[in-house]
Amino acid sequence: MNIKIIAVGKLKEKYSKEAIEEFKKRLSAYCSLSLVEIPAQEIKDDNMAKKYMELEGQKILTAIKSEAYVITLEIKGNQLSSEDFAKKIKDLSNEGHNEIVFVIGGANGLSKEVSERANYKLSFSKMTFTHQLIRIFLYEQIYRAFKIINNENYHR
């Protein structure tokens, strides 16, 4: 299984980078994992926020292969338990999808075009989190999903 994470912006905090690296190391036993970081558009004028979001969206879409199964992280997406998330990944694999792409938008969210490209929209919560935390949450939940799929214990 190939998993690609497309995220707008770069990680800055040391703790975020260390957490991601730990989960990447753990995930290497289960899948091929890649990250594409899209540069965030610097917001100089709030009236241009939609335009910036569209520019980021164009870059996101160019990083997605036509045959990829795309899961966008959106506040209005579907909320799943960890077990249901694991089942989703397992079902996608069983259906022959060999690449799952997760998309994390920028500070302005996702463009309409990126949202429409999604095969599935996922929400971790109705709350808003920083993009750095959502990245950690996503890596952790992907790792947890593979542990569940393989009937392996996960530390508590």
The answer to whether residue 113 scores a pLDDT higher than 70 is: yes
- Each domain of the chain, given as residue ranges in start order, spans 2-149
Q: According to CATH, what is the number of the domain 2-149? A: 3.40.1280.10
- 3-state helix, strand, coil split of the chain in percent (to 5) is 45, 20, 35
The three-state secondary structure class of 153 is coil
pLDDT at 149: 97
Q: Is the pLDDT of residue 43 over 80?
A: no
Confidence at 89, pLDDT banded by 50, 70, 90? very high
**Is residue 92 very low, low, confident or very high in pLDDT (cuts 50, 70, 90)?**
very high
Name the range with the highest mean pLDDT among 43-57, 119-133, 135-149: 135-149
Binned at pLDDT 50, 70 and 90, residue 48 comes out as confident
* Burial profile 122-154: b = 16 or more Cβ within 10 angstroms, e = fewer: bebeeeeeebbebbbbbbbbbbbbbbbeeeeee
Cα–Cα dist 49/132, whole Å: 20
Query: What distance, in Å, lies between the first and last C-alpha atoms of the chain?
Result: 26
131-140 pLDDT tens trace? 889 999 999 9
Write the pLDDT tens digit of every residue in 69-82: 999 999 999 999 99
